Amino acid sequence: QLARIQTDSVVEMLRELYPDVHFEIAVAMSTTGDKILDTALSKIGEKSLFTKELENALERNEVDLVVHSLKDLPTSLPPGFTIGAVCKRENPLDAVVFHPKNCGKTLNLLPEKSVIGTSSLRRAAQLKKKFPQLEFRDIRGNLNTRLKKLDEKEDFSAIILAAAGLKRMGWENRIGQLLSPEDCLYAVGQGALAVEVRAKDQEILNMVSALHDADTVLCCVAERAFMKRLEGGCSVPVAVNSTLSDGQLYLTGAVYSLDGSDSLKDTMQTSVNYSQQNEDGPNDDVQHVGITAKNVPGQALRAAENLGVELASLLLSKGAKHILSVARQLNDAR
């Protein structure tokens, strides 16, 4: 349902921009990540869990564009594909949805040993450290399934979900607590929608590039470059927070051990205050961590990408590789 709502919203924007073009939502597909619900995401071991089947359809020309949650897209796309648009970001924070009996509470007011559901190693690692009195357990399934599991059983006192998904579903009233970046840094790309297209399909690429939100693109390029340099994925706890203000891009990035006891975190900034005019030569189709952003200044994109790489390199120089490889081994052994 959420995937459909997200796709509809992108198609609606395209219809407004191109009233003469006929857009058809041809296919609703299930992906590997949707089908395997009895295993933690971090254990399935497939890089493109939510994207492979959709990319196959793109490759076979059955569809011309695919709408994803950006956080589901790996930092390196298969050859021949690119992210042609990153739409304006919804609130990227994580949200706590409480069991009806805990309505009005916050995480620190829950009784000791209360069980919190999350399928994300990143959320669990940060919250275990912050709320050692609580227990964290895997919960899988789409939003509808997870909310049903929460409401109809007594297994969970609360579950953690992305605020953006709840908002898009019209369930904002279920958010009992928004977790600030101090409580819980979010996932790379969280809250942003990406439109994936065939890299050589100039007509479609030009069309969807009108959907780019420049600020969101720059933040997400920095976040994705950070993740890529760390070689992070959903099998290790990597988290970010990025903000853009007065032409300065600020990126906070962190890595965690599985139980959150060991972590490294730092913040860096760079100027992205460049105009489109002073571009040297054609670099229309340069990809930055899988994103082709035709209408965002190339110098700004390069600065954002370098910021992510430099921040990751800083954490690696302080020992991030060790934290992540231990987390990966422990996760594999679970």
Residue-wise pLDDT for 101-110, tens only, equals 999 999 999 9
User: Mind giving me the DSSP string for 207-245?
Assistant: HHGGG--HHHHHHHHHHHHHHHHHT--TTS-EEEEEEEE
| Beta-strand relationship, 94-98 and 66-69 | unpaired
CATH code assigned at 120:
3.40.190.10
- Residue 235 is predicted with a pLDDT of 72
Q: Are residues 121 and 226 in the same domain?
A: no
Tell me: do 45 and 98 sit in the same domain: no
Same domain, 269 and 217: yes
Q: What is the pLDDT of residues 152-211, one digit of tens each?
A: 999 999 999 999 999 999 999 999 999 999 999 999 999 999 999 999 999 999 999 999
Check residue 294 and give its pLDDT. Answer: 87
Q: Assess whether pLDDT exceeds 70 at residue 149.
A: yes
> How does pLDDT run across 267-284, given as a tens digit for each residue?
999 999 998 765 555 555
Q: What is the pLDDT of residue 221?
A: 98
Domain boundary among 147, 178, 209: 178
pLDDT band at 53 (very low <50, low <70, confident <90, very high): confident
Residue 136 maps to a domain = yes
Kindly state whether residues 38 and 153 are assigned to the same domain. no
**CATH code at 244?**
3.30.160.40
Q: Kindly calculate the radius of gyration of the chain based on its CA atoms and give it in whole angstroms.
A: 20
Tell me: the pLDDT tens digits for 64-83?
999 999 998 999 999 999 99
Same domain (yes/no): 134, 222: no
- 183 located within any domain: no
Q: Is 156 in contact with 139 (CB distance < 8 Å)?
A: yes
pLDDT at 44 over 80: no
Mean pLDDT lowest for which of 93-107, 144-158, 227-241, 260-274?
A: 227-241
Question: Per-residue confidence at 29, pLDDT binned at 50, 70, 90?
Answer: low
Strand (E) positions, 39-80? 66-69
Q: What percent of the chain has pLDDT over 70?
A: 89
Does the pLDDT at position 34 exceed 90? no
Quick one: 239 and 316 in the same domain?
Answer: yes
Residue at a domain's end among 159, 178, 197:
178
| Co-location of 16 and 151 in the same domain | no
Statement to judge: residues 142 and 70 lie in one domain: no
Averaged over 83-112, what is the pLDDT? 96
Show the domain range for 324: 1-90+188-276+283-333
Question: Considering the domain boundaries, does residue 142 fall inside one?
Answer: yes
Task: Name the domain count of the chain.
Answer: 2
As a whole number, mean pLDDT of residues 21-45 equals 59
- Across all residues in the chain, what is the average pLDDT? 90
Q: Which amino acid is at 140?
A: R
Q: Are residues 173 and 300 in the same domain?
A: no
**Residue 7 identity:** T
Q: Is residue 118 part of a domain?
A: yes
86 and 209, same domain (yes or no): yes
- 72 an active-site residue? yes
pTM of the model: 0.90
Residues in CB range of 199: below 8 A, 6 or more apart: 80, 81, 82, 205, 285, 287, 292
Active-site residue (options: 8, 20, 72, 285): 72
